[in-house]
A and B are shown apart, each in its own frame.
Chain A
Amino acid sequence: MTDTKQPDSKQDEAVDPNAPITGMDYFMKLEYHELICPVVREFADALMEKRLIGHKCPKCSLIYSPPRGYCPICTVQTTKADEIEMQTRGIVTNYTVVTPVQYYGQEETEPFAKVSLQLDGGGNLSLQDLPGVPVEQVRSGMRVEIVWAPDGERHVDDVTNRSWGSAEGAIRGWKPTGEPDADPSEYSDKVF
């Protein structure tokens, strides 16, 4: 049957059942099923082995993780031959603190940070978490290392063609190493 949500006019009717109808709700719900493309599947398989992989553009050397199968800057395709393994330590280059607005579908209630990382040896990841780090302590230049989900709990169910490197089932997040912050000159031209 239809999953169209009918206007919730019950309350209005309690006031005046003869009041004109002036609004209409439509609850739009669509479900999609999609195969993960081969390069992202390889990324997901590597996560299960506690490895981070990316594709290095053969022309400009930019590293894309998860791999996309091409470099959009140089418009060249990348393949398995361009695959590299990345280090699991890096620098927070940028961050944002989201204060959740309770719109439909928002499950978060407390402010949380999402950070961008520049990994040692090259490569970037976006939309990463720093669990346990109070949002007011999140800052660019922090040195962090990966926290893998433990064996047996690790999964890649949330890695899709559009998850942009967010893989919370495999990467619990990143934790500060305690080393002194990086100098802005190390990352300021790679802020994204």
Chain B
Amino acid sequence: MVNDIAIVGYAQSPSWRASELTEPQFLFPVISEAIERAGVERREIGFTCAGSCDYLSGQTFAFVMNLEAVGAWPPISESHVEMDGAWALYEAWVRLQHGDIDTALVFGSGKSSPGKPAEIYPLQMDPYTLTPLGADPVSLAALQARAMLDAGKITEREMAEIAARSRKSAIGNPYAQVSGDDDPEALLKEPYVTAPLRRHDLPPISDGACAIVLATADKAKALSKRPVWIRGIDHRIDIHQPGMRDLTESPSTRLAGKKAGVGDAKVDVAELSATFSHQEKLLCEELGLGDDVEINPSGGALAANPVMAVGLARFAEAARQIAEHGKHRVVAHATSGQALQQNLVAVLEGD
């Protein structure tokens, strides 16, 4: 038996190439806004869970500093995941299942600008065979894109079209970093960055944060006229070694989508953490999302990529579609690891 949990408040920071503020400083107004929008008392929140990455910040226990943006006095019940904030949301969702508390705050934040992501992320790989090669996310994504191209599962033109559509959708999104009206033909004339990926196939490097407030059913109904219900949520992981996976498939996404119930009814919109253009098509296939589903109206991760918040931001954007744009059933997806190794899928619904 799973208890209904709803999103009752959400907020994001803009996505900056390099913020002058510290991570707790730009988290501060985001957390305050999410709490205010939820209409809860900060001190009544039963559980707080954060997602961030100390390697990204370049300081051990950097995540502890982020709690200053929460207001951790008197002492609060809190936890942290060294993962995207979407996994913090999952932990809070599990915590709320206990039924002894009725609200939870989750947030994700990251400041990618100070370091060099291409040198930091190899440290999350197998330390014997992959880290010493400096196996970086762009190269690994490029291996995946090439495999999809070779298998006839996508074309470079389709990749450019996905990027162009994402940038166009991001026009007017105050949280987006990359937006504009680009002609896919013109994009295809650009040189490769890491072939077969061109600059438009890559996400920007971003600083940013996102926060969400969850509530149990009775509390959500009391707090909100339009609670956004989490109808299903699941996350799965594939094997780590990229050479032991078929990179043209994502069994973990498929299974998480099935467990979350994506295919049980019509989906209106999906907000997917497709950090590289080709991954959007792969995710849509694995989740069974057809042409009738609107993908990433926010612009998605190609428009704003605040690592450790970008997956949670998919939840905020999905919730916005329901609470502010009248959509009924929306999918939110987050990913972790390289080349879509680990995937979290949720189905959100309005009343």
- Decide if A and B touch, CB cutoff 8 A: yes
User: Residues on A close to B: CB < 8 A?
Assistant: 2, 4, 24, 26, 28, 30-35, 37-38, 68-70, 72-75, 77, 161-162
Q: Is the CB of A161 within 8 A of B22?
A: yes
The answer, yes or no, to whether B193 is at the interface (CB within 8 Å) is: no
Distance between Cα atoms of A24 and B132 in the complex (Å): 10
A77–B29 Cα distance when bound, in Å, is 9
The answer to whether B73 and A32 touch across the interface, beta carbons within 8 angstroms, is no
B123 within 8 A of A: yes
Whether B114 and A38, one on each chain, are in contact in the complex, defined by CB atoms closer than 8 angstroms, is no
Given contacts A33-B114, A34-B114, A70-B69, contact A77 B120 (CB under 8 A): no
Q: Are B115 and A2 in contact (CB under 8 A)?
A: no
The complex places the Cα of A74 from the Cα of B73 at a distance, in Å, of 8
Known A-B contacts A72-B73, A73-B71, A75-B42; the reply to A30 vs B132 at CB < 8 A is no
Complex CA distance for A73 and B71, rounded to whole angstroms? 6
Cα distance, A72 to B114, chains bound together (Å): 24
Q: Are B22 and A72 in contact (CB under 8 A)?
A: no
Instruction: State which of A2, A30, A72 has its C-beta within 8 Å of the C-beta of B55.
Output: A30
Q: How far is the CA of A26 from the CA of B20 in the complex (A)?
A: 32
Is the pair A2, B123 in contact by a Cβ cutoff of 8 Å? no
CB of B94 closer than 8 Å to a CB of A: no
Contacts of B42 in A (CB 8 A): 75
**Contact pick for B114, options A32, A68, A69, A74, CB 8 Å:** A32
Q: Considering only CB atoms, which chain A residue lies closest to B120 in the complex?
A: A30
A69 to B25, CA, bound (A): 7
A-B contact number at CB 8 A: 63
Q: List chain B residues, Cβ under 8 A from A77.
A: 28-29
Judge whether B18 is part of the interface by a CB distance below 8 angstroms. yes
- Cβ of B337 within 8 Å of any chain A Cβ, yes or no, is no
- Known A70-B68, A73-B73, A77-B29: A37·B21 in contact at CB below 8 Å: yes
Q: Within 8 Å CB of B134, what residues of A?
A: 2
CB-CB under 8 A from A35, the residues of chain B are 18, 20
A91 to B120, alpha carbons, bound, how many Å? 43
**Proximity bits, B53-66, A CB within 8 Å = 1, else 0:** 00100110000000
Asked whether B116 is an interface residue with its Cβ less than 8 Å from the other chain, the reply is yes
Smallest beta-carbon distance B150→chain A, Å? 29
CB atoms of A26 and B58 under 8 A apart: no
List 9 tightest A-B contacts by C-beta distance, closest first: A75-B71, A72-B68, A32-B58, A34-B114, A32-B114, A35-B20, A73-B73, A161-B22, A32-B115
Determine whether the beta carbon of B71 is less than 8 Å from that of A26. no
CB neighbours (8 Å) of B22 from chain A are 37, 69, 161
B72 contacts chain A at the CB level, 8 A cutoff: yes
Query: Which chain B residue has the least Cβ–Cβ distance from A72?
Result: B68
B152 within 8 A of A: no
With CB as the reference atom, state the residue of chain A lying closest to B58. Answer: A32
Residues of B within 8 A of A70 (CB): 24-25, 28, 68-69
User: Complex Cα distance A33/B114, Å?
Assistant: 5
CB distance from B135 to the nearest CB of A (A): 12
Closest Cβ of chain B to A70, distance in Å, is 5
Whether A68 lies near B128 (C-beta < 8 A) is no
Q: Which residue of A lies closest to B25 (CB)?
A: A69
Q: What are 5 A-B pairs with beta-carbon distances under 8 A?
A: A26-B131, A26-B132, A30-B116, A37-B21, A73-B73
| Cβ contact of B132, chosen from A4, A32, A74, cutoff 8 A | A4
**Which among A26, A31, A162 is the interface contact of B116 at CB below 8 angstroms?**
A31
User: B119 contacts which chain A residues (CB < 8 A)?
Assistant: 30
A68 to B66, CA, bound (A): 12
Tell me, in angstroms, the Cα distance from A77 to B71 when the chains sit together: 11
Which residues of chain A come closer than 8 Å to B120, judged between CB atoms? 30
User: How far, in whole Å, are A73 and B70 apart by their CA atoms in the complex?
Assistant: 9
- Give the chain B neighbours of A24 by CB distance below 8 A: 127-128
Smallest CB–CB gap between B228 and chain A, Å? Answer: 25
What's the Cα separation between A37 and B28 when bound, in Å?
A: 14
In the complex, what's the smallest C-beta–C-beta distance from B66 to chain A, in angstroms? 10
Of B24, B111, B123, the residue contacting A68 (CB under 8 A) is B24
CA A162 to CA B64, docked complex, whole Å: 12
Find residues 29-74 in chain B having any chain A CB closer than 8 Å to their own CB. Answer: 29, 32, 42, 55, 58-59, 67-73
